[in-house]
Structure 1
Amino acid sequence: MVTVAALWRHPIKSHGREALETVTLAQGQTMPWDRRWAVTHDASKWNADDPQWAMCRNFMITTGTPTLAGIWATVDETTGTVTLRHDQLGSHSFRPDDPAEHAGFLSWVAPLCPADRAQPQAVVAAPQRGMTDTDFPSISIMTRASHKAVAAQLSQPLETERWRGNIWLDGTDAWEEENWVGKTLRIGSAELHVQSPIQRCKATMANPRTGKRDADTLDALRRGWNHQNFGIYATVTKSGTIAINDRAEVLN
């Protein structure tokens, strides 16, 4: 039986992750509070007068700044406060929707951003959806079996957090999820339509605790399976609640 092994959200794109026990998904929406905000840099094309979804290159992300991978996050949904934690920087709490509190965050995160790379400028949000890597409101689904296969290919321990997935499943064969593209999954009481595999980038090379690139995940994927995919993107087609240990099944 396939079951939910873990649930994660990433409140600020590439700036921390938070484990959940349960989540309620809404049809046509991203996971609540996942990538709700993103951080622009000095070369961003973000239009503050017309805020819309934008491609990841417009934001500070771990592909270009791998040291960001060492951040953890917690959201207070009542106040909209995000608390970030990093082994070297300690913690910092602020409300991303309040521009007056951005300066404190930018000062806190600055030591993780090398002077010769893009520098963080502001915290932004797209109306009514998370700033996922896809131009549609997506939720990412991954399997522990495929993760173990990549770790075996690398011959080293590998943290699941590298993949920045929303829903992790147990009980599948390795790469079974590749066969789900175009199909609908029921997970808990929610239903999701699988849209595409997720093509991976250098962000997955960064250790989620040290922020250092210490595993060539892309080479492992190419050598082992002749592609750079890991996980699948899905859209919510039926609202519902998902909790740890809930059952997942392919409907069609």
Structure 2
Amino acid sequence: MVSRYDVASGLLTLEHPAGRLVADLGSAQDRAAVEDYFATLLADTLEGDRPRLVTGSDGHRFTDVAVVSTEMMRAVSIINMASVRDLQERLGTHVHHLRFRANIYVDDVDAWSELDWVGREIHLGKVRAEVLVPTARCAATTVNPRTGKRDIRIPKELQAHYGHINCGVYVAIRSDGMIRTGDSVTLGDI
């Protein structure tokens, strides 16, 4: 399953070998089509429950850290590709970066250096961000994004190899701007 959401148009695109759907989430009819799409894909596993597409009220976002604070609800997650590669080397197996479900993937910084950025400002190209907290990894990272099967116990492996369960950081965006592929990542001070 590949999904894309275009904020400007409100269009959600879902692609699966069984079919493709483009839906306007502002339309009740299209929201029902999304529910039908998942009901068809998951027919063998639903046991009578029909999928429902839900939305948050008053700008609420359904994020892993939304319960912490309004600021954390709007936080952006960053994964350092060097950290993922280091974890791969320690485990002796491929670890797909998509299992960490980040908003932004960075490269060309030292492995695990992102954990030292907490409380500091970083620049993603021309966009300023404040690094809020490390990202503690949960059981969702045990699922291989290619197969949908649990295959690596990421939190347990992080604890065993590094003494913590963190991989990546959450940041608060502090300036307007566009972040583009290839933009540099530099440290600043708050």
TM-score by length of 1: 0.65
Q: Does 1:143 align with 2:80?
A: yes
Q: Which runs of 5+ in 2 are unaligned?
A: none
Q: Does 1:228 align with 2:165?
A: yes
Q: Which runs of 5+ in 1 are unaligned?
A: 1-70
Q: Does 1:165 align with 2:102?
A: yes
Deviation at 1:107, TM superposition (A): 2.1
Could you tell me whether the CA contact under 8 Å between 2:158 and 2:164 is conserved in 1? yes
Question: Measured at CA, do residues 156 and 112 of structure 1 come closer, stay the same or move farther in structure 2, by a change above 3 Å?
Answer: farther
What does the per-residue CA deviation read over 1:136-164, in whole Å, with 9 as the maximum and x for residues that have no partner?
21011111111011212221111111111
- Structure 1 window deviating more from structure 2 (97-106 vs 72-81): it is 72-81
Question: Measured at CA, do residues 192 and 84 of structure 1 come closer, stay the same or move farther in structure 2, by a change above 3 Å?
Answer: same
Could you tell me whether the CA contact under 8 Å between 1:150 and 1:217 is conserved in 2? no
Could you tell me whether the CA contact under 8 Å between 1:140 and 1:167 is conserved in 2? yes
Partner of 1:242: 179
- Indicate the RMSD between aligned Cα atoms, in angstroms: 2.2
TM-score by length of 2: 0.85
* Amino acid of the structure 2 residue aligned with 1:246: D
Question: Following the alignment from structure 1 to structure 2, what is the Cα–Cα distance between the partners of residues 156 and 126?
Answer: 42
Partner of 1:73: 3
Higher relative contact order (CA 8 A, sep 6+): 1
* Amino acid of the structure 2 residue aligned with 1:94: A
Q: 2:51 aligns with which of 111, 120, 125?
A: 120
Q: 1:96 aligns with which of 20, 25, 30?
A: 25
Question: Following the alignment from structure 1 to structure 2, what is the Cα–Cα distance between the partners of residues 75 and 169?
Answer: 21
Question: Measured at CA, do residues 79 and 195 of structure 1 come closer, stay the same or move farther in structure 2, by a change above 3 Å?
Answer: closer
Q: Identity of aligned pairs, percent?
A: 29
- What number of residue pairs does the alignment pair up? 181
Could you tell me whether the CA contact under 8 Å between 1:143 and 1:174 is conserved in 2? yes
Deviation at 1:194, TM superposition (A): 0.5
More helix by share: 2
